[in-house]
Amino acid sequence: MPADSLPSDAQSAPASYRGSHAFCRRVLPWLPVAPIALITAIPVLVVMSALADPDQEIWQHLWQYVLPELLVNTFWLVLGVGLGVTILGVSLAWLTAACEFPGRRFFSWALLLPLALPAYVTAFVWLGLFDFSAPLPTWLRDEYGILALPPVRSRGGVILVMSLALYPYVYLTARAAFQGQGRRLMEAAQSLGLSRWQGFWRVALPMARPGIMAGLLLAIMETLADFGTVSVFNYNTFTTAIYKAWFSLFSLPAAAQLASILIFFVFVVALLEYQLRAKRSYAASTRAASTPTRIRLQGGQGLLALAWCSGVFALAFLLPVGQILDWTLDVWETDLDARYLEFAWHSLLLSGLGALLVGALALTLGYAQRLHPTPALRVTARLATLGYALPGAVLAVGIFIPVAWLDNQLIDHLGLDGQILGGTLAVMLLAYCARFLAVSFGPLESGLGRISRSVDEAAQSLGVVGAKRLVRVHLPMLRVSILTAAALTFVDIMKELPITLMTRPFGWDTLAVRVFEMTSEGEWERAALPAAAIALVGLLPILFLIRNTDHAKA
Amino acid sequence: MRKLILTALALTTLATGATAAEVVVYSARNEQLIKPLFDAYTKETGVQVKFITDKEGPLLARLKAEGRNTPADMLMTVDAGNLWQASEEGLLQPVKSKVLNDHIPTHLRDPGSEWFGLSVRARTVVYNKNKVMPGELTTYEGLASPNWKGRLCLRTSKKVYNQSLVAMMIHEYGEEKTEKVVRGWVANQATDPFPDDTKAMEAVAAGLCDATIVNTYYFGRLMEKKPNLPLGIYWPNQNLKSANAGVHVNVSGAGITKHAKHPQEAIKLLEWLSSDKAQNLYADKNMEYPANARIKPDPVVAGWGSFKQNLINVSEAGKLQAKATMLMDRVGYK
């Protein structure tokens, strides 16, 4: 593992570059970074502007009756889901990336599939299968008199279901990290006398930390911002209080104030995490990507790995999908019509364009940060990726207000007939950037961190610099990270609701919007059809991702 | 790709190029419930209805942000509270319409004529027929009595239907008495509150508890799917002294936006929605009750029996919603 003590670009540049170019060098990275950061910063600031005007009565009420419970609840939820996704994601990633056992090839992509299911739909399925009145508990009660099943509507239940829904984030990013390490790392560990098990704990795992943390941070941000899943369990969190303030107490300002606190908290955590990480290098050997030899798990060990993967796959995917398909069979004849082609097309279009745009912006941001790792740029990058931690509908309002304001200015000053920004694809895509930049940035940042600076040096010594270096050296090395980022973003946009609802053009519905139409009046069975369609369409990028990452290396 | 951009542009122009013969609706009522009506209206009159669905909160925020340039002519919700809030924030305009005043009973529309109920959503008691004796059920308040200890299932207090119910009780009985009642409900619960009415009813049917409070159309939907469940419907608060007492009702309704571009067309659509021919389509689609008292409900719905509605104006649900929510927080109704 080469130490990353090599000089940064600025210092290694020939002396003649310095004088007149110093100013340019300092300003240049901000040209792309500033606009990217503004895409998130503007809506976030719109939300935070509510802090100026706190509503005394509501705050006193929240403080006295609402916050104590939900702070405790949120703490346990974040801790539980954080642990859950880490254990599931890391163990599965290690097994499928570094080991060989029966079924490995299948599981390496199948374990990503839960990502394609909206978590709140999965949650509802769990409730339908395991709550008191569900068939299975009823049968156990009637046949065997078993009364004391652990209740699914509980803290444990919500943590379990969310962990099963969100572990793929960690799985994907950790897997990319393990894959990037290659054979030499473990060989080096073993040559130092470590057993495989010790090698995993003392070398592979610590070296994969940025990847794991990137996925974990995404999972935690999603947990904090989640409303749908916790609502199914009626589990009160910070986000349910935000919606309570807005929808029940009719105070959007109070909701925005609560959301601001949430954002601030996530910002601090993201900065701390980065500070811890920035102190060390995680760059892999330049030849790391050479074909790794997998650890062959023999006999019982192999079966154990198979059982673990099968168990998680069954609970996280087969079970909910089975129920969704079962419901779909009941309703497809009446509900499925030609319009579904249009819904699916819209979903594909938005997710595809969104993933491209968000991915490109995240790459720009990550690359700028790599070339110019100044504190200001790092903080800005954290700020630009905060949109993921805000409850979706709150961010949607934060986006909508400035867009509507701009539209109104245009109408008033140019004498236009109506809005030209609101309800356009462009605004929708920008809104997705504000929300999902983190989803692309996380995997890309950890991917960039794995490229040793000695690669940059070598390229430079061969005269490959600037854009050429990015295209010919870095991009090929980042392939797995780029695909990971794009696939995650694609699937997330596909499932996204509040922003899509608020910014879509008239009559322009997506599959996720169909899920909303059905679930908002409690027609969960009918929501199964669009949910199944999301899973089906969402499979495409996942399969593509795995085809392009696994086969190359396996 | 060029085709995509063209499509996007075309959509934009569609969204902006307003013509006279159209109405634009922001709706919190589901697409599958309103589209058949709008299609029927277009067929009958040739007027195009463009609509977009979302939750009430975002729709109100949207109207507010768009201000006087909003494309929306009509706001449609599934509860009175949010219509009251829209009116409170100055997003609606009063409508003088004899047709609407004629069709919609006084207690189901805004006293200031800014919005009108179009269908009635009754929130009543559903019980397990095998476990509840006749006479045990009387009123909503009765469910707070010690007789119901450990026998009650409730939906979460975060749902607006429960907030409206408690808000109307505050108006009827005052905060102190209502707080006592709701505290009693909470104490009588057999288990934690459920995320929706259907789940609560399923728990009643499975014997986890004996009764719950739900909107009737959920009962209708569940019984349609599983007709053998031992569930019965009960109309509470029927024989009380107060002239206004009765089953708690809410409305799904609509109002004309303050800055409507097509106010006349929008009013015509609203009047049509309240008319004899549209009312059944509006209500029956979701097993609700027509707001227009002259119109009979769907036969299945009528089969649940007739009842006396609580006659207090439904706008109180909005006015007292925040108070009701705080009250429920205070007594620990999750």
For B122-164, write each residue's pLDDT tens digit. Answer: 999 999 999 999 899 999 999 999 999 999 999 999 999 999 9
pLDDT reported for residue B18:
44
The Cα of A249 is separated from the nearest Cα of chain B by a number of Å equal to 4
Please tell me the distance from the alpha carbon of residue B30 to that of residue A326, in angstroms, as a whole number: 24
Query: Which residues of chain B are within 8 Å of residue A232 when distances are taken between CB atoms?
Result: 195
Query: Which residues in B lie closer than 8 A to residue A506 (C-beta atoms)?
Result: 14-15, 24, 50-52
Which tokens in the block code for residue B66? 């768009």
The verdict on a CB contact (< 8 Å) between A153 and B192 is yes
Q: How far is CA A498 from CA A11, A28, A343, A503, in A?
A: 46, 35, 16, 9
**Lowest mean pLDDT across A98-102, A260-264, A522-526, A544-548:** A544-548
Identify the residue with better confidence: A1 or A439.
Answer: A439
On whether any CB of chain A is under 8 Å from the CB of B149, the answer is: no
Which of the four pLDDT bands, split at 50, 70 and 90, describes residue B270? very high
pLDDT score for B327:
98
**Contact residues on chain A for B88, CB-CB shorter than 8 A:** 250
Check CB contact under 8 Å for A501 and B61: no
Does residue B17 register a pLDDT over 50? no
Interface of B with A in 206-235 (CB under 8 A): 206, 208, 218, 221
Residue A230 is inside which H or E element, if any? helix A228-232
Q: Do A522 and B218 touch (CB under 8 A)?
A: yes
> Quick check: B32 and A518 CB within 8 A?
yes
Residues B172-189: tens digit of each pLDDT: 999 999 999 999 999 999
CB proximity B16 to A under 8 Å: yes
pLDDT band at residue A552 using 50, 70 and 90 as cut-offs: very low
For strands A99-100 and B74-77, give the pairing.
unpaired
Is B54 in CB contact (< 8 Å) with chain A? Answer: yes
Residues 6 or more apart in contact with residue A81 via CB below 8 angstroms? A159, A162, A163, A166, A219, A220, A223
pLDDT category at A439 given cuts 50, 70, 90 is very high
Q: What dihedral do alpha carbons A216, A307, A200, A382 form, nearest 10°?
A: -10
Instruction: State the pLDDT confidence band at B13, using cuts at 50, 70 and 90.
Output: very low
Percentage of residues in chain B having pLDDT higher than 70: 94
Cα dist from A58 to A162, A248, B90, whole Å = 30, 11, 22
CB A259 within 8 A of CB A272: no
Residue A13 has pLDDT above 60, yes or no: no
Q: Structure tokens of B99?
A: 């047709």
Region of A281 please: left (phi>0), alpha (psi -120 to 50) or beta. beta
Give A537's pLDDT tier (boundaries 50, 70, 90). confident
Q: Do B191 and A393 touch (CB under 8 A)?
A: no
Closest CA to A487 of A437, A423, A439: A439
Cβ-nearest to B192 among A234, A411, A425: A234
* Mean pLDDT value of segment A134-161: 85
Chain B residue numbers with beta carbons less than 8 Å from the beta carbon of A521 are 30, 33, 78, 286
Please say whether the beta carbons of B287 and B216 come within 8 A: yes
Helix (H) or strand (E) holding A453: helix A453-461
Q: What percent of chain A has pLDDT over 70?
A: 92
Closest Cα of chain A to B98: distance in Å?
Answer: 32
Least confident window among A171-180, A301-310, B243-252: A171-180
Chain B residues inside the 8 Å CB shell of A145: none
Residue to test with chain B: of A66, A69, A130, A250, most B Cβ within 10 A:
A250
Question: What pLDDT, in 10s, does the model give residues A505-517?
Answer: 998 999 999 999 9
Longest dimension (CA), chain A: 85
| Average pLDDT, integer, range B88-106 | 97
Q: Where is pLDDT greater, at B8 or B273?
A: B273
- CB spacing of A61 vs B194 below 8 angstroms: no
| Chain B residues touching A138 at Cβ < 8 A | 206
Cβ neighbours of A252 in B, within 8 Å: 57, 61
Average pLDDT over all residues of chain B: 93
pLDDT of res. A2: 39
Facing residue for A65 by CB, picked from B191, B202, B330: B330
pLDDT score at A11: 44
Inter-chain CB proximity B66 and A422 less than 8 Å: yes
Residues of A with CB below 8 A from B334's CB? 234, 236
Residues 89-128 of chain B whose Cβ lies under 8 A from any Cβ of chain A: none
Q: What is the pLDDT of residues B54-70, one digit of tens each?
A: 999 999 999 999 999 99
> What is the per-residue pLDDT for A334?
87
Closest approach of B137 to chain A, Cα-based (Å): 23
Among A1-5, A54-58, A443-447, B93-97, name the most confident range: B93-97
What is the C-alpha separation between A475 and A447, in angstroms, rounded? 10
Q: Provide, as residue numbers in chain B, all residues whose Cβ is less than 8 Å from the Cβ of A243.
A: 57, 158
pLDDT at B12 over 60: no
In A428-539, the DSSP E strands lie at none
C-alpha closest to that of B51 among B21, B30, B82: B30
Q: Smallest CA–CA separation between B194 and chain A, in Å?
A: 7
Put simply, whether B30 touches A (Cβ < 8 Å) is yes
Q: Distance, in angstroms, between A365 CA and closest chain B CA?
A: 26
Q: Which two tokens stand for residue A124?
A: 């509802």
Instruction: State the pLDDT confidence band at A292, using cuts at 50, 70 and 90.
Output: low
* Exposure letters A15-50 (e unless 16+ CB within 10 A, then b): eeeeeeeeeeeeeebeeebeebbebbbbbbebbbeb
pLDDT on residue A4: 40
Chain A residues inside the 8 Å CB shell of B167? none
Give, in degrees to the nearest 5, the angle at Cα A124 between A123 and A129: 100
What is the reported pLDDT for A554?
A: 36
Torsion on CA atoms B63, B66, B69, B73, rounded to nearest 10: -20
* β B152-153/B231-234 pair status: unpaired
Closest CA to B80 of B319, B263, B323: B319
Tell me the average pLDDT across A313-339: 93
Confidence of residue A284 (pLDDT cuts 50, 70, 90): low
Query: Can you say how many angstroms the Cα of residue A23 is from the centroid of all Cα atoms in its chain?
Result: 36
pLDDT at A9: 43
Q: What is the ipTM of this complex?
A: 0.91
Among B16, B34, B198, pick the best mutation site for testing chain A contact (most A Cβ within 10 A).
Answer: B16
Residue A1: pLDDT band (50, 70, 90) is very low
Stretch B319-330: mean pLDDT: 97
3-state secondary structure chain B: CHHHHHHHHHHHHHHHCCCCCEEEEEECCCHHHHHHHHHHHHHHHCCEEEEEECCHHHHHHHHHHHHHHCCCCEEEECCHHHHHHHHHCCCEECCCCHHHHHHCCHHHECCCCCEEEEEEEEEEEEEECCCCCCCCCCCCHHHHCHHHCCCEECECCCCHHHHHHHHHHHHHHCHHHHHHHHHHHHHHECCCCECCHHHHHHHHHHCCCCEEEEEHHHHHHHHHHCCCCCEEEECCCCCCCCCCCCEEEEEEEEEEECCCCCHHHHHHHHHHHHCHHHHHHHHHCCCCEECCCCCCCCHHHHCCCCCCECCCCCHHHHHCHHHHHHHHHHCCCC
Please state the rounded mean pLDDT for residues A382-400. 94
pLDDT at residue A12 greater than cutoff 70? no
Please indicate if any CB of chain A lies within 8 Å of the CB of B40.
no
- Whether A520 and B11 lie within 8 Å, measured CB to CB: no
Residue from the list B57, B69, B221 with its beta carbon closest to the beta carbon of A411: B69
